[in-house]
Amino acid sequence: MLLMLMTKQGQEKLARDMAEIAKKKSQWGDVWKRLFRNKRGVLGMGIVVLLLIFVLGANFFTNYDYAVQDVTNRYGMPGREHLMGTDNYGRDIFTRLLYGGRISLMVSMMSVIISGCIGIALGSIAGYFGGRIDLVITRLLDILMAIPALLMAIAISSALGSGPVNTALAISVSGIPHSMRIMRSTVLSIKSNDFVEAARATGSKHMRIIFRHILPNTVAPLIVNSTLQIGGNIMAISGLSFIGLGVQPPTPEWGSILAAGRIFIRDFWPIIVFPAMCIMLTVFGFNMFGDGLRDALDPRLKD
Amino acid sequence: MAELLKVEHLKKYFATPAGQLHAVDDVSFVINKGETLGVVGESGCGKSTLGRVVLKLLDLTDGRIVFEDRDITSISEKDSIALRKEMQIIFQDPYSSLNPRLCVSELIGDPLIVYKMYNKDGRQKRVYELMDLVGLARRFAFSYPHELDGGRRQRIGVARALALSPKFIVCDEPVSALDVSIQAQILNLLQDLQAQQNLTYIFVTHDLSVVKHISTDILVMYLGVMAEKCESKELFRKPYHPYTKGLLSAIPVPNIDHVKRPVELLGELTSPIEPKDECRFLARCKYATDVCRQGAPTYQEVEPNHFVTCHNVREINNL
Amino acid sequence: MSLLEIKGLTIHYETRESVISAVNGLDLSIDESKTLGLVGETGAGKTTTALGVMRLVPDPPGKILGGEILFEGKDLLKATDNEIRKIRGNDISMIFQDPMTALNPIIRIGDQIAEVIQLHGNCSKTEAMVRSLKMLETVGIQPERSIEYPHQFSGGMKQRVVIAMALACSPKLLIADEPTTALDVTIQAQVLELMNELKQQNKTSMLLITHDLGIVAETCDEVAIMYAGEIVEYGSLAQIFRNALHPYTIGLFGSIPSLDKDVDRLNPIQGLMPDPADLPEGCKFHERCNFIDEKCETGELETVEVEPGHFVRCLRVAKGEI
């Protein structure tokens, strides 16, 4: 080392080495960079972030209460007082949408987490161990998959009753087969890599192989899948609430707001257009964001 | 010299929809400490499967494996994990054999964690020692595999295999995916390590010039069976099996004074699924006679320590 | 006159982060019915050169920045898309490394070859089919198998089909990019023999890209050694194999385990190929060279003709020091 420092060549080499260490960035840094280069991904992320800011900080953006009725001020058109007007009870639509978004987002995320956890567990067991276990898990979930998702959700929520948690459960059940299949195929493709065999050759036990070598490599497709599912779940919750099975009034939820307003569709447009736009934009934002993430996380597209 | 590994009548069949695939069929050999057995053959001859069965990464169908005078054919899962400390493997593909989410130091240190060896500092010290040993600059300790080239990646694979100080390593085509100049570096490294630590290798490859360079003995495999086995240099001087002859004549020699022999091997590998009771090489052999159709040839010692599986070996070679 | 002459060809791949100098001022020429072996390691720019000749460099990110590719005296880099399409497959055709992906899995073998013939041969469908069957026979496949699909063929057989397709229109120049790397040795020997026979029958010139000096010794007339996008040594087969002068060429020969001689230890080239996005100044090989002096790190390099037809790109060889 000392000898290296004495020669000019040695110094330069050392400087180059140091630069190389500095240049080394984490893999997630690359992902961010690629995500920011993708215009649609950034657009989607922007929508999602804005939405989260508005929904989580609802108290800061409005002075109204979502449940308080103001009969003197029904059917108010959008204006300075009420950004999106007021509904048939004189409640501020903007406020109801902000608080309703909390429920929609919370419930859809909850159901993604529930179906994700079960799906990951089943999928990694089926994919890793294969054989008979795989056959049983896959067939059982195939049966589940054969039942239309919305019908299933309707059946479950009418059995469990309404409310945010039950709605989340109802929707997550139909999401399980999907997450499980994605997980299973990802695990299968990772399992075929030599490094899994290398881990076995160095004496690692099954659990260690799954948790240290396989699961970390499945993060990318899972994130993408979850993001895309959130959008889909918001639609499903709105659907359930629309037919009266999801969240009950007066708790605002985008679907129930839409359902309550549907009789005024000819006479008073703000009550329908704004919640519909919220759902549309959110689903659009999550889908764009998910697509962007998928491109950013796909190593084959690395430049 | 002391015997390290003895394999007797090893068989590995895989069940396929079309029937039993005879990947390894009745293979026997002995490797002495500090020596290298080269296993050569074309793709699909069962050479990689053989390496994995010996390491017990795959279960065997029939036969016996003796390692350091201990029968390890049917040991318990727990014992086989303890055994992994003694036997390691280096893979062909330096890309898929390294977990992309772990950095170099984690990759090399992984086996140490599994066996709960050293504390954290001691482990890092050992990782640096191993990196020095395989000629990997310490500044790469926290790089990820995708930032390194094939040669350096293969050095990580070698370091990982050495981490537990094994006695025996199966090298499964460790240089096939590398460029010639890098290939030579890795071959030299493997030879140096063998000399330093008295390692024993099974060196699986399709490249005859590499295998000649590194092996003490060579086993030529064809469709799961042993075609010929003898001392390395002897094989190139006196190839007796028609397949070995064909294989040798097929290698392009980088010497313009070398007289090119005409292509000896016609046709392609036949199916290893449910083979008939005849010589497996029959379809491609130009010396085939009726005897070859009437039953599989036996593995016989035609000269001291030179084994050939061929009915007509004496007639063909005027022995 | 030479059939193909490449002068000062420069191809870069430009990405957001870096510029990869794949081919840097490359000169080459191939005479009629001769075979030139282009030898080098991964990342030396061999395949990019071949794609450049075919005008198939993917753009973006690839950019052909300069030089001339004269084919029968006509500059391919200036040809219109229509002209180049006529030349591809008709006058110049290419065989890729991986026979598995070169064939369309859902079209019968015979039809795939016939399609190529029909595209360039100005003939009827039946005539094309007849010629396609003949082609299959020439490459050693029974014509009856023409109604089979690619997945029914083994790797070696597929490569024969690919060769049949490449030679279907009797091209003047065949570019073969590692045609046997994916094959087993015994199959490789069969395919090489077939290629040699066909080449001699049809008087086709060939640019053979490979990393295997053994294949070069058996098939080529001339050899170009490529390193970091440049030709470092160029000469006839005998000149390169008997009198290699460039330290890289010498290093390559030292790296191969020999079948004829017994060597205990190989003499590899030290270090690694430089990053093509960050090539060193001066001689591109100086970091790995055993014979460097100061000039190698900065000096301007020129290719010198050390004996008739034998070119070397090395300062010290030029000065007669090695």
Residue A282's alpha-carbon distances to A54, A101, A102, A154, C193, in angstroms, are 12, 10, 12, 23, 64
Q: What is the per-residue pLDDT across B115-158, written as a single tens digit (0 to 9) for each?
A: 888 888 889 999 999 999 898 888 888 888 888 888 889 999 99
Show Cβ contacts of residue B291 under 8 Å, excluding neighbours closer than 6 positions. B311, B312
Among B85, B97, B142, whose Cβ lies nearest the Cβ of A194?
Answer: B97
- Give the three-class secondary structure for B91: coil
3-state secondary structure of A39: helix
Helix axis angle for C155-167 and C125-138, nearest 10°, is 130
Q: How far is Cα B106 from Cα B116, in angstroms, rounded to an integer?
A: 14
Chain A residues whose CB is inside 8 A of the B82 CB are 203
CB pairs < 8 Å spanning B and C:
122
Block residue for tokens 């390395």: B232
The chain B residue lying nearest A194, using CA atoms, is B97
Amino acid letter for position A287: N
CB A256 within 8 A of CB A241: yes
Cα B114 from Cα B108, distance rounded (Å): 11
Task: Select from A197, A202, A216 the Cβ nearest to the Cβ of B101.
Answer: A216
ipTM over 0.90: no
Tokens of B203: 């060196």
Interchain contact B138–C (C-beta under 8 A): no
Question: How do residues B184-204 score in pLDDT, each as one tens digit?
Answer: 889 999 999 999 999 999 999
| φ, ψ for residue C310, nearest 5 deg | -115, 110
State the alpha helices, DSSP H only, in B163-216: 180-197, 208-214
Average pLDDT over residues C131-139: 86
Q: What is the pLDDT along chain A (303 residues), one digit of tens a residue?
A: 344 444 555 555 555 554 444 444 456 677 777 778 888 889 989 998 998 898 888 788 777 777 777 777 777 777 777 777 777 777 888 888 888 888 888 888 899 999 999 999 999 999 999 889 999 999 999 998 898 888 888 888 888 887 788 888 888 988 899 899 999 999 999 998 889 988 988 888 889 999 989 988 888 888 888 888 888 888 888 888 888 787 777 778 888 888 778 788 788 888 888 888 888 898 899 888 888 888 787 655 443
Alpha-carbon gap: C186 to the closest alpha carbon of chain B (Å): 5
Residue A7 in 3-state DSSP? coil
CA distance C12 to C5: 20
% residues pLDDT > 70 (chain B): 99
What Cα–Cα distance (Å) separates residue C280 from each residue in C20, C228, C277, C285?
13, 10, 10, 8
Is A201 within 8 Å of B98 when comparing Cβ atoms?
no
| pLDDT of residue C179 exceeding 90 | no
From the candidates B49, B79, B99, which should be mutated to test the interface with A, based on the most A CB atoms within 10 A? B99
Q: Which two tokens stand for residue B87?
A: 């036997």
Average pLDDT over residues C195-211: 89
3-state DSSP call for residue B289? coil
Q: What SS3 class is residue A190?
A: helix
Query: For residue A21, what pLDDT is reported?
Result: 47
User: In the prediction, which pLDDT does B10 show?
Assistant: 93
Q: Which residues of B touch C265 (CB under 8 A)?
A: 188, 191
Chain B: give the shortest CA distance to residue A200, in Å. 7
Contact call for residues A197 and A203 (beta carbons, < 8 A): no
Of A178-182, B32-36, C24-28, C313-317, which range is least confident? C313-317
pLDDT in tens, C218-267: 889 999 999 988 899 999 999 999 988 899 999 888 888 877 777 778 88
Q: Map tokens 């695990």 to a residue.
A: A187
- Asked whether the beta carbons of residue A208 and residue B164 sit closer than 8 angstroms, the reply is no
How close does chain C come to A20, measured CA to CA in Å? 12
Q: CA-to-CA distance for C311 and C306, rounded, in angstroms?
A: 6
Q: Residues B103, B143: contact at Cβ < 8 Å?
A: yes
pLDDT (tens digit, 9 = 90+) per residue, C44-55?
888 889 888 888
Average pLDDT of the residues in B166-173: 93
State the Cα–Cα distance between residues A276 and A263, nearest whole angstrom: 14
Spatial CA neighbour of A128 closest among A208, A233, A44, A230: A208
**Least Cα separation, residue B303 to chain A (angstroms):** 37
Specify whether the CB–CB gap between C226 and C193 falls below 8 A: no
Q: Which of C194, C208, C226, C266 to mutate to test the interface with B (most CBs of B within 10 A)?
A: C266
Distance CA C306, CA C233 (A): 10
- Chain A residues lying within 8 Å of C16, measured CB to CB: 37, 303
Residue B252 with chain C: CB contacts under 8 Å:
188-189, 192, 212, 214-215, 217-218
> Which chain B residue is nearest to residue A25, measuring alpha carbons?
B143
Calculate mean pLDDT across residues C175-186: 85
Model pLDDT, residue A139: 94
Evaluate whether A285 touches A44 at the Cβ level (below 8 Å).
yes
Instruction: Compute the distance between CA of residue C237 and CA of residue C235 in angstroms, rounded to an integer.
Output: 6
With residue A277 as reference, give the H or E element that holds it: helix A270-297
Q: Please name the helix (run of DSSP H) or strand (run of DSSP E) that holds residue B295, with its range, or none.
A: none
Asked if C59 contacts C263 with a C-beta cutoff of 8 angstroms, the reply is: no
Residues B217, B279 contacting (CB under 8 angstroms): no
C57 has pLDDT over 80: yes
Cα(A120)–Cα(A125) distance, rounded to whole angstroms? 8
pLDDT tens digits, one per residue of B41-78:
888 888 899 999 999 888 889 999 999 988 988 888 78
Output the pLDDT for position A26.
54
Q: Which of C16, C278, C279, C294 to mutate to test the interface with A (most CBs of A within 10 A)?
A: C16
